[in-house]
């Protein structure tokens, strides 16, 4: 049984007040809140087993190494990777994308093509632009429609033997659209193109099965799934990770170093140079355990209910327009109110303790498509409630009256 009050009690920050009002946290698309079990795990690491990993014969180093590698195994199981060495610890989604893009600099030739989508976060646009500028490859964009969906017939036209990698998000951070990535991956396979999926916004809501999807790379951030900031995962198929050169040089990623030549360590250490965020990697596993204990079926059911309820209540506000109206979307509502800048709404409702995101959400091409400066984005998590949505709607109505 899903007990929302019991779940909320796991998150100490949810009981605090902001500006004298109970906190209503609807900025989960930016980062999730952390349950007490995660907070305790951070303290436990530094209190009991703090040591560098993979390098020491002493007891603390062995305990820290075991905990770190146990977390890797948890994540392997969670995403159904074939091998644990296909799971690389990163600093987050951006780090993972840049690692792959940097590796493709040794593969692409002038005239090769990289496909991105119109729905991408800047983190899945800029690294590929930089790559194309460096290699002479061409960046092509899968267009979107007014519902915030990728136009699949146009994607079909863009795919060709020149396509070397397709990189697309699983779920749009700005609109909540769930992209049909399984079908898109299957289409790219016909042209032997590699596929990278940005799962930053998907992993809080679902469990990706990388073998079922048959993607070559899948990246996500820990801080959006109840883990600390500065943590993330790059999954890569073994064959691709062996093919790509290291992203960074230093300690840990080497097999042997002389001044004449360096040989690199086996996977995954080839891509994990230097001392990692050890506590973050360990606690990422704790956060994934917590999410699985809550249960992704429960998470999806709760968030679907919140999305439907919020959509209905918000559309009752005169002059309010929602951007991103696909039938396949997650618990994100981006909207504007006619004649009022989103920043002004966000600032006023913050005084009521309500946290939403305003702006372009690091997705300026989407805002340009809709010819708007940005939106108000309310992004819901499984620990949110309909009562909180009512508080937000009431605050928005009051802000609208003040600003009209």
Structural domains of the chain in order of their starting residue, each with its CATH number: 4-30+295-403 (3.90.1150.10), 39-293 (3.40.640.10)
Query: Is-catalytic flag, 215?
Result: no
User: Residues of 115-143 as b/e, b for ≥16 C-beta within 10 angstroms?
Assistant: bbbbbbbbbbbbbbeebbeebebeebbbe
- The one catalytic residue among 132, 215, 226, 362: 362
Quickly tell me which residue has 């708007």 as its tokens: 372
Position 249 scores a pLDDT of: 86
- What residues contact 22, with CB distance under 8 A and at least 6 apart? 353, 391
Position 45 scores a pLDDT of: 98
Rounded to an integer, what distance in angstroms lies between the CA atom of residue 226 and that of residue 263?
Answer: 37
Do the beta carbons of residue 280 and residue 304 sit within 8 Å?
A: no
Position 168 scores a pLDDT of: 98
Length of the chain: 404
- What residues contact 184, with CB distance under 8 A and at least 6 apart? 150, 152, 155, 166, 168, 195
What does the DSSP 8-state code read for residue 269?
G
Give per-residue pLDDT as tens, 275-300. Answer: 999 999 999 999 999 999 999 999 99
pLDDT along the chain (404 residues), means of 10: 96 97 98 98 98 92 97 98 98 98 97 98 98 98 98 98 98 98 98 98 98 98 98 98 92 81 87 95 98 98 98 98 97 97 97 97 97 97 98 98 93
Three-state secondary structure call for residue 332:
strand
Tokens of 221: 């951030």
Rounded to an integer, what distance in angstroms lies between the CA atom of residue 141 and that of residue 253?
Answer: 35
Give per-residue pLDDT as tens, 5-57. Answer: 999 999 999 999 999 999 999 999 999 999 999 999 999 999 999 999 997 88
Residue 99: HSE in the Cβ half-sphere, 13 Å Cα cutoff:
32
Position 107 scores a pLDDT of: 96
Position 262 scores a pLDDT of: 81
Rounded to an integer, what distance in angstroms lies between the CA atom of residue 337 and that of residue 154?
Answer: 32
* CB-CB neighbours of 46 under 10 Å: 10
The separation between CA 318 and the C-alpha centre of its own chain, rounded to angstroms, equals: 33
Do the beta carbons of residue 293 and residue 6 sit within 8 Å?
A: no
């Amino acid at each position: 049984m899903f007990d929302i009050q019991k779940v909320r009690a796991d998150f100490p920050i949810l009981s605090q007040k902001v500006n004298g009002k109970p906190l209503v946290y609807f900025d989960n698309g930016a980062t999730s809140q952390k349950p007490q079990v995660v907070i305790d795990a951070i303290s436990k690491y530094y209190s009991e087993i703090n040591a560098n990993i993979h390098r020491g014969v002493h007891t603390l180093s062995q305990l820290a190494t075991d905990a770190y590698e146990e977390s890797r195994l948890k994540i392997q199981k969670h995403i159904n990777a074939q091998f644990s060495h296909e799971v690389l610890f990163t600093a987050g989604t951006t780090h993972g994308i840049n690692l792959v893009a940097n590796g493709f600099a040794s593969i692409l030739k002038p005239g090769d093509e990289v496909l991105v989508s119109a729905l991408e976060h800047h983190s899945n646009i800029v690294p590929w632009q930089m790559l194309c500028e460096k290699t002479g490859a061409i960046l092509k964009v899968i267009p979107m429609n007014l519902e915030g969906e990728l136009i699949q017939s146009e994607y079909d036209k863009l795919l060709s033997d020149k396509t070397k990698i397709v990189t697309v998000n699983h779920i749009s951070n700005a609109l909540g659209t769930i992209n049909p990535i399984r079908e898109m991956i299957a289409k790219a396979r016909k042209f032997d193109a590699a596929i990278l999926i940005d799962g930053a916004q998907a992993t809080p809501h679902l469990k990706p099965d990388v073998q079922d999807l048959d993607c070559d790379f899948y990246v996500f951030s820990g801080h959006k799934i109840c883990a600390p900031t500065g943590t993330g995962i790059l999954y890569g198929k073994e064959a691709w990770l062996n093919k790509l050169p290291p992203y960074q040089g230093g300690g840990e990623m080497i097999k042997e170093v002389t001044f004449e030549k360096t040989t690199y360590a086996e996977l995954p250490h080839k891509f994990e140079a230097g001392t990692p965020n050890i506590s973050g990697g360990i606690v990422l596993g704790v956060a994934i355990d917590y999410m699985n204990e809550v249960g992704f079926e429960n998470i999806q059911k709760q968030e679907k209910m919140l999305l439907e309820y919020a959509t209905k209540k918000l559309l009752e506000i005169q002059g309010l327009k929602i951007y991103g109206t696909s039938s396949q979307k997650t618990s994100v509502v981006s909207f504007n109110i006619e004649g009022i800048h989103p920043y002004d709404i966000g600032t006023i409702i913050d005084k009521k303790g309500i946290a939403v995101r305003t702006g372009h959400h690091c997705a300026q091409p989407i805002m340009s498509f809709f010819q708007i400066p940005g939106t108000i984005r309310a992004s819901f998590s499984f620990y949110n409630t309909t009562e909180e949505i009512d508080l937000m709607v009431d605050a928005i109505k009051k802000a609208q009256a003040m600003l009209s």
